[in-house]
């Protein structure tokens, strides 16, 4: 199978004008049903707004469910130096003991998932990550939106927008033809900043020196894995074990035999809520996740890499002999547009654990940059016991009114983005964007004119985690 090549000399074709059906009018329109969109929609509805959420897939969850990005990475600070404990652990993080710095909608989702048997409580044995079941995640997210009274439209892809007299109009492509939804305030939770870019917001892509972005990854689930057999191997070969970033000798042997040609340096897998299953995160493809040619190449290249990894696990790693790949996701995209906001978070802000008066979320996850050019991953931790603030200004696109961004497309540098891009923090910024959007509608203001302390007070009311003294 060959990827359709990018045209060398693109020929522009003029399309005829068209009409669209007005599908709804609402106070707050949330575009994207991933963690950021879920946080935004629930929060806006709880703050009293009429809310519509539109999602391009036929289910909710975004990267958590479509791309199988499992587990949720740690949203805890580190009260003490991280130490690797039991060598039979399956979770590849050495995140130390700590306190949660994200709560609110995220914590309610996790509580629901745990009651359903679809998630494991974060703690020392999980490295403070949250192993979850993606199918249960879909259902839990749907239940939360239903209970909040949010109206949902699936199978609709945002393709454009325009300002109207009182808010914004977003265009969606659907099997039923083009639809438009009018809203007083829009929250862009697409991950890629699609709506904000269409509204004329300025943005950056990639690192400053060359524009390259973090690579994409295809994740997949291996089932019928025998943990006890693997644990015996680990105990017998401690020199090969570093979390599960290890298996170094087996990887070296397979590589020298021509069985493995990995684009990254390790074979990385995570526990799930199911004893005989692991989630594998080991493929790596460079390219731009907002380019259809790169996305197509990434899907095909990563599945060839996946085939190598599955065979390696089955033939060389004890415990995987009878296992098989039960499911793969769509290609997982780490980094695309970063919308330029009223404040741009920096790597210095992250490493200095900087605090802001208009803080609406916190993050303690390290700087985590997968090499845009090949193997290698850069990790730099936030100071022990600390977290940094994310200001409301980073959710407000410069020069654009009646629109907020949430999730990994908020305003920050390439370095800072590598920390705040994780899904728990995306949900926290989504909750803040939803609250600000609802308050803007209620107060008859633009989101930029909503005082930060009003947003902070509503976030506190909704159970969000903020620093002491904010919103009290």
For 170-213, what is each residue's pLDDT tens digit? Answer: 999 999 999 999 999 999 999 999 999 999 999 999 999 999 99
Give the pair of three-digit tokens for residue 96. 């130390």
Is 6 inside a domain boundary?
no
Among the three residues 270, 302, 328, which one is the final residue of a domain in this structure? 328
Q: In the prediction, which pLDDT does 123 show?
A: 84
Q: Do the Cβ atoms of 429 and 390 come closer than 8 Å?
A: yes
CATH code assigned at 146? 3.50.50.60
Q: Are residues 137 and 230 in the same domain?
A: no
Cis omega (within 30 of 0) on the bond before 71? yes
Q: What is the mean pLDDT of residues 212-239?
A: 92
pLDDT of residue 236: 84
List phi, psi (to 5°) of 447: -55, -35
* The pLDDT of residue 321 is above 60: yes
Give 70's pLDDT tier (boundaries 50, 70, 90): very high
Asked if the model's pLDDT at residue 126 lies above 50, the reply is yes
Which SS3 state, helix, strand or coil, does residue 223 take? strand
Residues 28 and 50 sit within 8 Å (Cβ to Cβ): yes
Which residue has better confidence, 26 or 244? 26
- pLDDT tens per residue, range 130-146: 999 999 999 999 999 99
Burial label, 342 (beta-carbon count in 10 A; 0-12, 13-18, 19+): middle
Contacts of 443 (CB under 8 A, 6+ apart): 450, 454
Confidence of residue 444 (pLDDT cuts 50, 70, 90): very high
- Residues 317, 413: one domain? no
Q: pLDDT tens for residues 362-382?
A: 999 999 999 999 888 889 999
What is 53-97 written as a DSSP string? EE-SSSSS-GGGTTS---SBPP-B--SS------TT------PPS
Q: Quick one: pLDDT band at residue 90, thresholds 50, 70, 90?
A: very low
- Do 207 and 228 sit in the same domain of this protein? no
Asked whether the beta carbons of 89 and 157 are under 8 A apart, the reply is: no
Q: For residue 356, how many C-alpha atoms fall within 13 Å in the half-sphere facing its CB?
A: 22
Decide: 244 and 92 in contact? Cβ < 8 Å. yes
Q: Tokens 């740690």: give the residue.
A: 74
In a domain, 14, yes or no: no
Mean pLDDT (whole number) for 310-325: 96
pLDDT at 89 > cutoff 60: no
Position 79 pLDDT exceeds 70: no
Asked whether residue 408 is assigned to any structural domain, the reply reads yes
Instruction: Kindly give the interhelix angle for 248-256 and 292-316, rounded to the nearest 10 degrees.
Output: 100
State yes or no: pLDDT of 260 exceeds 50: yes
Q: Are residues 252 and 307 in the same domain?
A: yes
pLDDT for res 2: 86
Question: Do the Cβ atoms of 303 and 219 come closer than 8 Å?
Answer: no
Instruction: Give the total number of structural domains in the chain.
Output: 2
Q: Determine the pLDDT at residue 84.
A: 34
Given the structure tokens 């340096």, which residue do they identify?
265
Please, are residues 361 and 432 in contact by the beta-carbon 8 Å criterion?
A: yes
Domain boundary among 304, 328, 352: 328
Alpha carbon distance 216, 289 (integer Å): 7
Confidence of residue 58 (pLDDT cuts 50, 70, 90): very high
Spatial contact of 255 and 262, defined as CB atoms under 8 Å apart: yes
Strand, helix or coil for residue 437: helix
Cβ(389)–Cβ(362) under 8 Å? yes
Neighbours of 255 (CB within 10 A): 13
Please check whether residues 167 and 238 belong to one and the same domain: no
User: Both tokens of residue 395?
Assistant: 């959710």
Helix, strand or coil, per DSSP, at residue 30: strand
Q: How far apart are CA 160 and CA 197, in angstroms?
A: 9
Residue 463's pLDDT band, with cuts at 50, 70 and 90, is very high
Are 266 and 322 found together in one domain? yes
Asked, for residue 412, whether it belongs to a domain, the answer is yes
Asked, for residue 12, whether it belongs to a domain, the answer is no
- pLDDT for 428 equals 98
Say how far apart CA 2 and CA 456 lie, in whole Å.
Answer: 52
Q: Does 308 fall in a domain?
A: yes
Of the listed ranges 49-58, 81-90, 203-212, the one predicted with least confidence: 81-90
Average pLDDT for residues 156-160, to the nearest whole number?
97
DSSP 8-state code for residue 345: B
- Which of 285, 307, 328 is the last residue in one of the domains? 328
1, part of any domain: no
- Residue 198 shares a structural domain with residue 239: no
Name the nearest CA neighbour of 91 among 108, 74, 113, 110: 74
Contacts of 233 (CB under 8 A, 6+ apart): 317, 318, 319
Q: Do the domain assignments include residue 283?
A: yes
- Strand locations in 190-333, DSSP E? 203-205, 220-223, 269-271, 277-280, 324-328
DSSP assigned state of 243: T
Same domain, residue pair 247 and 115 = no
CB 453, CB 435: distance < 8 Å? no
* Full DSSP string of 275-342: TTEEEE----B-S-TT-HHHHHHHHHHHHHHHHHHHHHHHHHSTT-TT-EEEEE-SPB----EEE-BS
* Residues with Cβ within 8 Å of residue 463, at least 6 apart in sequence: 103, 104, 107, 108
Mean pLDDT in residue range 244-267: 82
Question: Are both 46 and 116 inside the same structural domain?
Answer: yes
What is the average pLDDT across 450-470? Answer: 97
Domain match, 240 and 112 both: no
Mean confidence (pLDDT) of the chain: 92
Query: Among 62, 103, 91, which residue's Cα sits nearest to residue 332?
Result: 62
Task: Estimate the crossing angle of helix 35-46 against helix 423-443, to 10 degrees.
Answer: 30
Instruction: Answer yes or no: do 140 and 266 share one domain.
Output: no
Per-residue pLDDT, 142: 98
What would the two tokens of residue 258 be?
């021509």
Give per-residue pLDDT as tens, 292-316.
999 999 999 999 999 999 999 999 9
> Strand, helix or coil at 417?
helix
- What is the span of the domain harbouring residue 90? 21-211+336-461
Q: Among candidates 406, 408, 389, 388, which has minimal Cα distance to 456?
A: 389
My answer on whether 110 and 191 are in the same domain is yes
pLDDT value, residue 91: 35
Q: What is the pLDDT of residue 242?
A: 53
């Amino acid at each position: 199978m060959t990827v359709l090549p990018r045209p060398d000399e693109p020929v522009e074709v003029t399309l005829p004008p068209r009409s669209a059906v007005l599908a709804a009018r609402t106070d707050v329109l949330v575009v994207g049903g991933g963690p950021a969109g879920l946080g935004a929609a629930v929060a806006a509805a709880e703050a009293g707004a009429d809310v519509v959420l539109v999602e391009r897939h036929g289910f909710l969850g975004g990267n958590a469910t479509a791309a199988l990005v499992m587990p949720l990475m740690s949203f805890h600070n580190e009260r003490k130096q991280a130490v690797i404990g039991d060598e039979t652990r399956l979770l590849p993080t050495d995140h130390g003991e700590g306190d949660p710095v994200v709560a609110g909608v995220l914590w309610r989702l996790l509580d629901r998932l745990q009651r359903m048997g679809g998630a494991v409580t974060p703690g020392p044995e999980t490295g403070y990550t949250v192993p979850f079941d993606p199918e249960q995640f879909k259902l839990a997210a749907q239940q939360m939106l239903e209970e909040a009274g949010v109206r949902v439209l699936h199978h609709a892809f945002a393709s454009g927008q325009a300002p109207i007299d009182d808010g914004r109009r977003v265009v969606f492509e659907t099997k039923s033809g083009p639809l438009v939804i009018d809203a007083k305030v829009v929250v862009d939770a697409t991950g890629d900043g699609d709506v904000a870019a269409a509204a004329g917001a300025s943005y950056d892509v990639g690192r400053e020196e060359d524009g390259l972005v973090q690579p994409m990854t295809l994740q997949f689930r291996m089932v019928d894995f025998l943990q006890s057999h693997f644990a015996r191997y680990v105990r017998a070969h401690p020199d090969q074990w570093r979390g599960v970033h290890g298996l170094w000798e087996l990887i070296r042997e397979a590589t020298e035999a021509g069985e493995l040609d990995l684009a990254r340096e390790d074979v990385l897998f995570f526990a799930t809520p199911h004893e005989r299953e692991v989630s594998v995160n080991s493929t790596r493809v460079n390219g731009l996740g907002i380019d259809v040619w790169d996305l197509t190449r990434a899907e095909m290249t990563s599945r060839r890499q996946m085939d190598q990894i599955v065979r390696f696990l089955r033939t060389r790693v004890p415990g995987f002999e009878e296992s098989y790949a039960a499911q793969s996701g769509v290609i997982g995209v780490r980094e695309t547009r970063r919308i330029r906001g009223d404040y741009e978070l920096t790597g210095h802000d992250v490493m200095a654990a900087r605090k802001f008066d208009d803080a609406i979320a916190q993050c303690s996850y390290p700087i985590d940059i997968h090499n845009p050019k090949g193997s290698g991953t850069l990790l730099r931790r936030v100071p022990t016991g600390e977290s940094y603030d994310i200001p409301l200004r980073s959710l407000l696109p410069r020069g654009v009114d009646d629109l907020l961004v949430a999730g990994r497309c908020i305003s920050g540098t390439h370095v800072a983005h590598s920390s705040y891009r994780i899904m728990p923090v995306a949900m926290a910024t989504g909750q803040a964007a939803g609250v600000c959007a609802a308050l803007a509608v209620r107060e008859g203001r633009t989101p930029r004119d909503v005082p930060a302390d009003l947003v902070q007070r509503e976030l506190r009311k909704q159970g969000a985690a903020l620093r002491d003294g904010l919103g009290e």
